[in-house]
Amino acid sequence: MNVDIWLCAAGILWLPGAAIVRLVRAPAIADRATRIAIQLGAGLAFWPILLLWTADTPLRWSSIAVWGIVGVAAAVAFFPFSRPRFVRRVTIHEFLLAAVVAVTGWTRLRAVTGLALPPWVDSVHHTMLVRLFLMRGTVPQTYDPFIPGATAFYHWGFHAVAAVLIWFVGRTDPFSVAGIILSFGQFLNAVAPLFVYAAARSLLRSRTAAVVAAALAGLVSFYPAYYVSWGRFTHLAGVLLLLAWIALAGAAVSQPAVGGLGARRPRSARIRSAVLMSIVASGLALVHVRLAFFAVTFTVVLIGATLLRRRRPVAILIAGALACLIVVPWFVAMRHVAPTALAPSDADPRWTSPADVRANLLWVPHAAELLSLATAGLTGIANIGPLPVVARVVSGVWWLAILAVATKRRRTRPLLFVFSVLATWCAVTLLLVNTTHLQFATNTSAAITAFVPVCIAAGALIAWVTARMHRVALPVIVLVCCVIGVMTLSDVINPATIIANDADVAALRWLSTSTPASSAIAGRVQPWYGGAFIGVDGAYWSSVLADRRSMPPPSLYGWSGSYGRMELFLARWRDEYPFMTRATLTEAKRLGMTHVYFGRGVPLEAPAKTGSVVYARDGITIVAIP
């Protein structure tokens, strides 16, 4: 991993975000850490919005244009200089949060040490989309040449920002592109605790609770650390913007719009707050549709709670209206796709996703323990998880501790309010997902995002219980979380999701230089959603890295057109691989295939029985079909 990529990523996000916050003159933000998170979130939303609104113009983005925008953003963020001021004192909460982010970053770097390419098949189509941005200099309208004849439909906000980063560093070689995507994804993963802190700080109005929530999310929860194993970079970016939205929306309704100029002009303060929220919401809609849906359900619950408290959620309503206007071009472009994606018919299985969430995705390491913390030990006592006996006993002790603290008549009203909002949010989301059968938001997507409310709720309870001794308890809690993170999150990648290593990269480089541009390569395949197929070895990367057609194409092909003949062939190919019959090879040649890719674990005699060996090195063999 390259730390310089992280520094550049921080620059292209923070500078535009800082400029936006300064231009908008947003009302007072809770503290310095929250301000940095909001600035990074605004920067993450800025680039997709900018590319959206320049997509129908003659402008084509390049390194020069990106450097120019970053330079203007730096000028707006820093000039004119104000009077020199001494650096403000760093509080213990800021110091501990910085430690959490630093250790989280170390675990994320450690987790991907030695990886040649991003894991799993999602990374292939992420690389495809980023390369399309680089090739065309704007938002791609089709997936040509990687998926011939396919109209673009996938949310592309993350890919736009990744392309901007690549233009900024000037490394547009396909293999460098894949490496930068992996680095950028891990950078976003490393700063996730900062965004959790901002959201928790806004909802709970407690720095202690916010630091605990950030430590749990970054160093104890298996998500989002495990996202890299699936290549879920888009989902991760959406989670960060969701958290930024929670931070801004929570602040907008938790206190009157006063402070500074806002004390004299509260209406102006609400409008400025709404503008900043609308930028974050618009970026979220472009980055990931399902996370935008979760933001909508949260907002509905928050508005309801605000009205019950006899406050007016004016800023949120204005922000929602502005966000809809900002992303109108995207809505227009998706008008033909949306009906099928929202409610697919039985005759169109391409969009159908599994409704049920698998237990191994829900009950990942530490999930049951965190849920027990968040529910005052009740789920642990009920053995929901399930949990080992020791954890169930600890859950009982935790329940008794909360009862004991409750007898001290500590203030519980804010805590109960936040818990009711989080619990209702989860209930409303699951109810809508299960009753409407939406295809872009499923139970699985909700399960891998549940760490957000769980960690915030657990942080709130822990801070409430330890309030009288937080000066001692908070450093100890952070230290324990750091130890857990170093021990358990430094090696989270499932080996089964690594479909290419250094030997595959060498073979792909050979393909890009030693085979005709019309070549088509197939390797090991397996079924995917909706009757589609995916590749599960280095051959699957050939289209986006070696510019040689892969069989099958990147997985988005399954939602973009009819490939019935190819899929019937791939079903037979899957059953016969690596000893394909002559009839199957003849059919492969009719479909345009020229080479067969044999990766690790293939019997040595298989390549020779297939055709003439043209490449054999480090366990990778490539055969030309006769």
Cβ burial of 170 (10 Å; 0-12, 13-18, 19+) is: exposed
What tokens appear for 163 in the block?
Answer: 């392309």
Separation of alpha carbons 48 and 319, rounded Å: 18
Using an 8 Å Cβ cutoff, are 498 and 435 in contact?
A: no
Strand partners, 624: 595, 612
Q: Cα 289 vs. chain centroid, distance in angstroms?
A: 11
* pLDDT of residue 410 exceeding 80: no
Alpha helices in 137-232 (DSSP H): 157-169, 174-190, 192-204, 207-219, 227-230
* pLDDT of residue 254 exceeding 80: no
What tokens appear for 602 in the block?
Answer: 């293939």
Separation of alpha carbons 384 and 396, rounded Å: 13
Query: pTM, whole model, 2 decimals?
Result: 0.95
The pLDDT, as a whole number, for residue 370 is 97
Identify the residue whose tokens are 């309704």. 253
Separation of alpha carbons 565 and 374, rounded Å: 51
Phi, psi at 521, each rounded to 5°: -120, 140
Average pLDDT score over the chain: 91
- Pairing of the two strands 549-551 and 533-535: unpaired
Annotate 260-273 with b (16+ C-beta within 10 A) or e (fewer): eebeeebeebbbbb
Using an 8 Å Cβ cutoff, are 107 and 490 in contact?
A: yes
Using an 8 Å Cβ cutoff, are 462 and 212 in contact?
A: yes
Percent of the chain with pLDDT over 90: 75
* pLDDT of residue 57 exceeding 50: yes
Alpha helices in 255-334 (DSSP H): 266-287, 289-308, 314-326, 328-333
What tokens appear for 225 in the block?
Answer: 């650390």
Cβ burial of 223 (10 Å; 0-12, 13-18, 19+) is: buried
* pLDDT of residue 386 exceeding 90: no
Separation of alpha carbons 441 and 355, rounded Å: 10
Annotate 37-69 with b (16+ C-beta within 10 A) or e (fewer): bbbbbbbbbbbbbbbbebbeeeeebeeeebeeb
Query: In the 8-state DSSP scheme, what is residue 231?
Result: T
User: How many residues are there in the chain?
Assistant: 626
| Among 209, 218, 182, 197, CA closest to 419 | 209
* Structure confidence by residue, pLDDT tens digits, 119-142: 999 999 999 999 999 999 999 999
- Pairing of the two strands 533-535 and 525-527: antiparallel
How many CB atoms neighbour CB 566 within 10 A? 18
* Structure confidence by residue, pLDDT tens digits, 322-377: 999 999 999 888 877 766 666 555 555 555 666 678 888 889 999 999 999 999 99
The H or E element spanning position 415 is helix 413-436
Strand partners, 604: none
* pLDDT of residue 570 exceeding 90: yes
Kindly give, in sequence order, each residue whose CB lies less than 8 Å from that of residue 245, ignoring residues fewer than 6 positions away: 277, 280, 281, 284, 295, 298, 299
How many CB atoms neighbour CB 324 within 10 A? 14
* pLDDT of residue 260 exceeding 70: no
